[in-house]
Amino acid sequence: MTDAPKEEVIAMIDIKEVVHTKVTRDKREGMGVCVEFTNDLFDEKGNKIGTSVGTGVLSTNGEGDEHRFQLFSATDHLEDGTILWTGACPHDPSQITKEHSVQAVGTSGRYLGKTGTRHFQFYDRPDGETTILKSSFFLRG
């Protein structure tokens, strides 16, 4: 019997994520509108630990606001590497009242080749272009 290398698990919890969005296609609402975002990531002590940069596209799977969602793709840039995450979530961040998760994969540094999930939940929306989320991620590999 051989000793298999221990799988490393990386978890970051209690991240305060300040989301700054910018509509890039035009200023109207509607399907296909693309937003760019740059999120500032802070640890539980308030220290900035990185940024998340990505895009989201508004889509729908039916009629009415309850069926609107955004498809996201973004990269977290942390001091010790990068994590790509992608998935869908409700269009209106305030609808993320429970923790929501999307797929994540490490793309450089300490996180390279590790896979897992990135989680976020609505916390506050101080204005129309800024949203505050409570976030975390879990990777293994």
| Phi and psi torsions of 128, nearest 5° | -65, -15
Of the candidates 115, 117, 97, 98, the residue with the CA atom closest to the CA atom of residue 106: 115
Query: Which amino acid, residue 86?
Result: T
Looking up tokens 């609402």 gives: 29
Q: What pTM, to 2 d.p., does this model score?
A: 0.82
CB 129 within 8 A of CB 21: yes
Q: 66-91, pLDDT tens digit by residue?
A: 556 778 899 999 999 999 999 987 65
Q: 78-128, pLDDT tens digit by residue?
A: 999 999 999 987 656 656 677 889 999 999 999 999 999 999 888 988 887
The structural domains of the chain, ordered by start, are 14-140 (2.40.480.10)
- 133: tokens are 């989320």
pLDDT greater at residue 129 or residue 86? 86
pLDDT at 34: 78
pLDDT at 23: 59
